[in-house]
Amino acid sequence: MSALPAISSSSEERSFAEDVLLGLSQDPKSLPCKYFYDARGSQLFDAITELEEYYPTRTEAVIMREHAAAMAAAIGPDALIIELGSGSSIKTRLLLDQLERPAAYVPVDISAEHLERSAAAIAEDYPGLEVLPVAADFTRGFDLPEPTREARRRVVYFPGSTIGNFSEPEAVELLTAVSQMVAPDSRRQLAPGGLLLGFDLVKDAGVLERAYDDSQGVTAQFNLNLLARINAELEGSFDLEHFEHRAVWAPGPQRIEISIRSLRDQVVRAAGKQFRLREGEEILTEYSHKYTRDSIRAYTKRAGLNRARIWADGRDYFGVGLFEP
Ligand code: AVJ
């Protein structure tokens, strides 16, 4: 067994109620974006990926379609593929289609039910591939199952620019934990492994803001759904009519900052406590950091992944890089 250590900032085993009470008691108020993904939130995110304005998902899939063969050649045969995320997307298949004799595929996802479904689908589509699902919040660390067939190296696949949800120190912590997991290991005859990482590139602020504040208001529903979830699960009293979605490009920290803004002075209840919100006050709900080739390489180098090979789409909107020790 080989563990991916937890990153310090991840909420220990704090419950939804504890995270909500903690976040709404802070100034500025905030709520962890991982709570977006209840059943309704996951449906809304799937709808977001189809939106014209939301380019990341389809752009990353184009990169995988065009370059997965080169990525697979660089990864080589008999690799153990560990995906941070359940692998329910086409991108995973585009990679698995090209890999030579992968030793096994280990999808890691916080939602056991979602994981079960997508792991079964992959196992069905790739009958010769050992699929070893791990239900875990990867920021809390997890143990790696042993594949039946010896792997030559370990490669972590982390698509979707989900790395963007982490602040710089958290991202470097996570990348460092990944770097340790894919490090060479003479006892197991493991050669140095790698990280195949999807990351969104810095671009025109208007393109970025439209991707997170679409004209149909689907992202607004996705964001405000978090309040509906608090109402449903924590006896919340949020009236969604009195809040609005905000998504703004912050050029300094190079991120989209998503928040829920109160449209009036109001007092709300959640998880048994009352909270005052002033008119205009914002509850931060998500950061989505954007990178340049230089900035993402600075992060991965700090994590001990010094070599990089980067593929991008024709508009240089999105990047996928193979980062190796
Ligand atoms: C799933 C975290 C990659 O940051 O683009 C999409 C989530 N938030 N629209 C992103 C998201 C608003 C998405 N990630």
Q: Does residue 87 have a pLDDT over 80? A: no
CA of residue 134 to ligand 1 center, whole Å: 22
CA-to-CA separations, 104 to 101, 155, 177, in angstroms, rounded: 9, 11, 20
pLDDT in tens, 255-312: 999 999 999 999 999 999 999 999 999 999 999 999 999 999 999 999 999 999 999 9
Domain count, the chain: 1
Place of tokens 């370990």: 154
Q: What's the whole-number average pLDDT of the chain?
A: 95
**Ligand 1 atom 5, closest CA:** 288
In a domain, 34, yes or no: no
In a domain, 193, yes or no: yes
H-run or E-run covering 248: strand 243-250
What pLDDT, on a 0 to 100 scale, did the predictor assign at position 12?
61
In a domain, 153, yes or no: yes
What is the residue-wise DSSP string for 69-111?
A: HHHHHHH-SSEEEEEEB---SHHHHHHHTT-SS-SEEEEEES-
**Closest by CA position to 325, among listed 309, 303, 295:** 303
Which CATH number covers residue 119? 3.40.50.150
In a domain, 215, yes or no: no
Q: Does residue 169 have a pLDDT over 60? A: yes
What pLDDT, on a 0 to 100 scale, did the predictor assign at position 123?
96
Q: Which one of 158, 162, 163, 285 would you pick to mutate in the ligand 1 pocket, going by the greatest count of ligand atoms within 8 A of its CB?
A: 162
In a domain, 304, yes or no: yes
CA of residue 65 to ligand 1 center, whole Å: 21
Domain encompassing residue 180: 55-203+292-324
Q: Does residue 2 have a pLDDT over 70? A: no
Mean pLDDT over 11-20 rounds to 85
ipTM above 0.85, yes or no: yes
Q: Which one of 34, 111, 165, 288 would you pick to mutate in the ligand 1 pocket, going by the greatest count of ligand atoms within 8 A of its CB?
A: 288
